[in-house]
Structures are given as C-alpha cells and as structure tokens.
Amino acid sequence: MTESIIINVSPKVIYEVALDFEKYPEFLSDVKQATIQNGKGKSLIVDFDIKVIKSIQYTLKVTGNPYKSIQWDLIKGELFKKNSGGWVFKEEGKGKTEATYTVDIDFGLFVPSMITSKLIGSNLPSMMKKFKERAESLA
C-alpha cells in the first residue's frame, strides 16, 4: 500500500522527522514506544511497541539514504509475518517535498489480507497528515 503527500519543508527536514523514531510517541498516538537498539546514521535497529487493537512489539532494520529515502524490513515481531516498506522524498520546488510512504504487512494466519489492507488503508492518510504537521511545525 502506498500513499503520497506534499509537505511544505525540504527533504532534509522530513527525512530527519521520519528517522527520529524515539519522538514518534509525541505525534503518533498508536506508537507507545520506539527505541533505537543499535546503529547510527544510515543503518539502525529499532524496537517498536504499538497499540492497534492490542499491544504489538516488533523490531525493524532501517536503512537511510540521506534526504532521499528510508527503507525497512522486519527482523522479528509478534503477529507479523512480514513488515517492509519505506519512504521516498522528492523535492517539489523550493521548500516543498513529495513524501511517498509504502508499506507491505502480512500478519500471516491471524488476519486475512483483505482486513489488513482495510486497516492500513484507513489509517495511512491520517498518519501521513501527522508526519506533515510534525515536519512543518519544526521547520
């Protein structure tokens, strides 16, 4: 599933907001905690604790290409069979960025893909708006 939004900041600002995982609970209500386990710069291991119907813990390997893109893949997690995706940041003129978010999640046997798609599809626009608001408030 993919969603794009125009954000009134440079690619650098939204890239830094997207990589600042430990601040996610400040503006994403579903994220209870995000902790950088190890790594610096372009490659990180991040633990997440989110609340979507129930509390779910998982760990992602995150790789950044400064100010251009961020990719992640699941290392381990309860309920998830797959959780991969990323951000792409494209400058759209001075002080504007098109931010595109792609996610591919599979809960395996627990949740049919149709329900997963509906859950993600209904939450994605709201999440994108929260990233936009956060980035613009910091610019």
Name the pLDDT band for 53 (thresholds 50, 70, 90).
Answer: confident
**pLDDT for the residue numbered 111:** 62
pTM of the model: 0.89
Name the pLDDT band for 9 (thresholds 50, 70, 90).
Answer: very high
Higher per-residue pLDDT: 5 or 94: 5
Higher per-residue pLDDT: 109 or 2: 2
Cα separation, 81 vs 84, whole angstroms: 10
Question: How many Cβ atoms sit within 10 Å of the Cβ of residue 63?
Answer: 16
Cα separation, 98 vs 9, whole angstroms: 9
Q: Three-state SS for 24?
A: helix
pLDDT in tens, 91-121: 998 899 999 999 998 877 666 565 555 566 6
Q: Is the alpha carbon torsion for 45, 66, 4, 26 positive or negative?
A: positive
Cα separation, 47 vs 25, whole angstroms: 13
Domains detected in the chain: 2-138 (3.30.530.20)
The mean pLDDT of 55-59, rounded to a whole number, is: 91
